[in-house]
A and B are shown apart, each in its own frame.
Chain A
Amino acid sequence: GQQLNQSPQSMFIQEGEDVSMNCTSSSIFNTWLWYKQDPGEGPVLLIALYKAGELTSNGRLTAQFGITRKDSFLNISASIPSDVGIYFCAGQTRGSQGNLIFGKGTKLSVKP
């Protein structure tokens, strides 16, 4: 079946650093989504991308829909402590609401 490879699996951030993570797939998706999950909570939708090449920002977050439609990245600029959590990418195929495929997540933690 379809799979998303999300990297890195985990990373440590220091306040003020920029963060980058990405998702790749062997399949084409028509929509790319990025979610954040805090401990004990459900995922929260951060950014939705609908067109190849699209670059979208939400505050300090910027995400891009890859030209090949097989990848997407998420950047967080000037990280702050409340950015810690797990970030998931998800891909959706056209015409099939049920086919939202999630990556395994990138866990963001604060550097000790």
Chain B
Amino acid sequence: NAGVTQTPKFQVLKTGQSMTLQCAQDMNHEYMSWYRQDPGMGLRLIHYSVGAGITDQGEVPNGYNVSRSTTEDFPLRLLSAAPSQTSVYFCASSYSFGQPEAFFGQGTRLTVV
């Protein structure tokens, strides 16, 4: 089992560019989520999904889109990157709705210049 795999690990974008952060899990987990972590802050929830075809907004969803076409994959899209989106992004998963996120990816460090 690979667990939760995020790609890329590092990325630099110019303001206005778009990109997709990839997240995949091989544990057949129903629940997946995206967080951002800023210096001196805890993690903040961006979007989450309780199963294929179902997504919902978290605490800080503006500027981000998600989709969940398969159980395994949960990509996060930045349509027009802004410097305020410079952060470390973590994808997480758990077996089902109601279970705490037990598995996190290694993170994607994104810098928007």
User: Chain A: residues with CB nearer than 8 A to chain B?
Assistant: 1, 4, 6, 31, 33, 40-45, 48, 88, 90, 92, 95, 97-105
How many Å from the CB of B71 to the closest CB on chain A? Answer: 16
Chain A's nearest CB lies how many Å from the CB of B26?
16
Segment of B14-22, B42-50, B62-70, B74-82 engaged in the interface with chain A: B42-50
CB distance from A63 to the nearest CB of B (A): 13
Which one of A43, A48, A88, A97 contacts B48 once the chains associate, using CB atoms below 8 Å?
Answer: A97
User: Which chain B residues numbered 82 to 101 have a C-beta less than 8 Å away from chain A?
Assistant: 90, 92, 97-98, 100-101
Residue B2 interfacial (CB < 8 Å): no
- Bound Cα distance A90, B107 (Å): 18
Complex alpha-carbon distance, A99 and B107, angstroms: 20
Q: Is the Cβ of A42 less than 8 Å from the Cβ of B105?
A: yes
| Residues of chain B lying within 8 A (CB to CB) of residue A44 | 104
**By the criterion CB–CB under 8 Å, are A98 and B45 in contact?**
yes
Whether the Cβ atoms of A92 and B100 lie closer than 8 Å is yes
Residues of B within 8 A of A43 (CB): 43, 90, 104
B44, B56, B102, B105: the one contacting A102 at CB < 8 Å is B44
> Which of B31, B42, B44, B58 neighbours the largest number of chain A CB atoms within 10 Å of its CB?
B42
Question: How far, in whole Å, are A31 and B101 apart by their CA atoms in the complex?
Answer: 12
Residue in A closest to B42 when the chains form the complex, CB atoms: A102
Q: How far is the CA of A43 from the CA of B35 in the complex (A)?
A: 11
For B7, the chain A residues whose CB sits under 8 A away are none
A6 to B40, CA, bound (A): 12
Are B104 and A100 in contact, with the CB atoms below 8 A? Answer: no
B111 at the interface (CB under 8 A from A): no
